[in-house]
Amino acid sequence: SDQGVSASTFSVGAGLFMLAVAMLSSTVGGYLAGRLRARWSGLHEKEIYFRDTAHGFVTWALATLFSVAVLGAAMTHLVAGAAPNITPAVMAAAPSDASDLLVDAMFRPEPTANSLVRLDSPTFRDEVKRTAATGLRGGGLSPADRTYLARIVAARTGLDQASAEQRVDAVVTQAKATADKARKAAAKFAMWLTAAMIAGAVFAMLGAVEGGYLRDSRWWEPGWQGPGL
């Protein structure tokens, strides 16, 4: 009660749902592509099989391109609408050049309890964000950056230097774990998406073959057994 499914269960369920939708929709599209084609006369059965399969694959490819175009247009519209609010924050938090970090390091003042007004300024917080962002990279925080951030935390919270350093380490570790979790989730989603695309292509071809089989068969007659019978 009052508790949802776990993240893993939700991820697997969403992947299976995406796989099932791709299979069903591709099967219907391929079936219609094969069934609605005019009957080919004078062709070998294997040639007809190949052409129906190709029509199913082309149908899947066109549907995939259409879906990507529609989703891409929708995403572009959303990003364009949010850009006026997002861009200033991104530009402020992310350095446009590696020299920004060097300049921040050269002009660092000694953080003290008497400089709390400066610690709350937007410009200073942006500097801290740029410094902390290096902790999410492969090499992690340098000893100088770690000590500097710990001094800021100590001046802002009243903690001693050792406790402030532990807090900085804990926050950076948690941020890295969150980033790793997001990367793993993106990788899993990419795998499910790839599986759904492959399954969609296969089922579109199978659906087209089945549609072509029924197109060339006298299925409405009692005792029909196959094409041309």
pLDDT of 93-108, one tens digit each? Answer: 444 455 555 555 555 5
What distance in Å separates the CA atoms of residue 78 and residue 72, rounded to the nearest whole number? 10
**Residue appearing with tokens 């200073």:** 124
Across 161-170, average pLDDT: 84
- The Cα 184–Cα 11 span in angstroms is 11
Asked whether the predicted pLDDT for residue 167 surpasses 90, the reply is no
Which residues partner with 217 through β-bridges? 227
Q: What is the mean pLDDT of residues 80-101?
A: 51
Helices (H), the chain: 7-35, 45-93, 99-106, 116-119, 122-133, 143-157, 161-215
In the numeric block, the tokens 């299925």 are attached to 219
pTM above the 0.75 mark?
no
Which comes out higher in pLDDT, residue 86 or 115?
115
Mean pLDDT value of segment 177-188:
84
Computed over every residue of the chain, the mean pLDDT equals: 76
pLDDT digits (tens, 9 = 90+) for 10-26: 888 888 998 999 999 99
23: tokens are 């299979």
How far CA 181 is from CA of 8, 16, 118, 136, 201, in Å, comes to 11, 20, 34, 13, 30
Give CA–CA dist 15/21, Å, rounded.
10
Confidence of residue 82 (pLDDT cuts 50, 70, 90): low
Find the Cα–Cα–Cα–Cα dihedral 126, 132, 134, 136, rounded to 10°: -130
Q: State the pLDDT confidence band at 76, using cuts at 50, 70 and 90.
A: confident
pLDDT score at 96: 45
Band of residue 180 on the pLDDT scale cut at 50, 70, 90: confident
User: b/e for 62-85, b at 16 or more Cβ within 10 A?
Assistant: ebbeeeeeeeeeeeeeeeeeeeee
Distance CA 111, CA 114 (A): 8
Q: Give tens-digit pLDDT for 14-65.
A: 889 989 999 999 999 999 988 888 777 778 888 888 888 999 999 999 998 9
In this predicted structure, the answer to whether residue 200 has a pLDDT above a threshold of 80 is yes
CB atoms within 10 A of CB 23: 18
How far apart (Å, rounded) are the C-alpha atoms in residues 59 and 228? 26
Dist. CA 103–CA 130, nearest whole Å: 11
